[in-house]
Structure 1
């Protein structure tokens, strides 16, 4: 006959057993954390390539041997060194369509001499001094567009030619002989080979006149609302509204409603 034994635990022994188990669990947890950290450190992290001064000089030389020219509203011609020119569409170069602001800006630079661009003035000083100033929203808008254009071209050149660019690399530089505000690409820009496109033939003045037509039928209140929308804070880089629309709308206001410079400044600056 089996005798049933009543088991009993001392309270202190039980507490000691629980404490020991907790220490073992904590030790295992720490070991797992160290193991995971070692595993993650063995995986290389993606970062911008480190370029030596010699490699940077070589890269700059490669970029300088690129020449780009206007081919059509939706494509450009690209020539590398002594190789034949190749046509690339806006989609092949990473642009969503030919109607995006960034693509239109690139085409504008390629079409019109001297093939330079500018961010414009960051501030307006109405009194001629430095005490009072107004921030120009158009400056931020243009900076964002050119920065986006630079990034798209960097991605395209890397994909097409296998070039690795260091972080923050710019495909443009300031023209010291003119102004720090005036920029030009580090690669060559050639005039359009065929002047068949109306944008290239008619010239910038005629192009602006065509853009102004869409605003001529607006009354003054509607024109002000349109300018405020074009000059809004939430500017979309891929919007189909080019920056020239803002300039054209202001031109109409000056000519049709005789706006003064002070009136324009209040509309576009904060």
Structure 2
């Protein structure tokens, strides 16, 4: 559920993610998102007005103020920092042609099958143990929210790849298709076209550092390219010391930065 109001020349939209909403995996339960006018030159004024508005709303503890801003536009960054925002996530895209598929000795990379579901689910849940250290805290109901989403993925396009060694799943990539077309939500963030979305990629702790992630993604990039994708995109957390190094090495470039304050009452 969402609600919009005008805030001067900007638009302020409130999103409510109730119990059972998959968005709660990465989001606060109540999010106030600001949409500044294009090419704004006075972000500080918009944020001061926003701060005044939030002071009248008394938001709950499980809340956030959030704004998407072009990653390469530095003009607003000082204002974001001054008002308590941090760069919590980056939407990055990769549009370069894929290279050759990389292999790792003793490792098989393939599409996941039904029998792999529990192993992939366990690995997906484990990512929230780690990302909870660098972004949104892990929720107690993480498995409850994640299981049906992953189940639909297995029963649908099955865009889930795994890497296994000796019959053990040691890495997984859960992906999907997103159509960016006029008047769609995706068109607000991505150029028009059919995009491959890289949702969750995880390597078992004991298997990291051996090129496994690169090998897995080299196959994913090739399969998306040959299926007609204009490119692939994903979100990663800048404070994550693994993701912030790995994804740029795979050819991903920041497009949008998500600036956030939690709780929403902390905006200043």
State whether TM-score is above 0.5.
Answer: no
TM-score, reference length from structure 2: 0.25
TM-score, reference length from structure 1: 0.25
Q: Which has the higher contact order (CA 8 A, sep 6+)?
A: 2
The structure carrying a bigger strand percent of its residues is 2
Determine which structure has more spread, i.e. the larger CA radius of gyration.
1
The structure carrying a bigger helix percent of its residues is 1
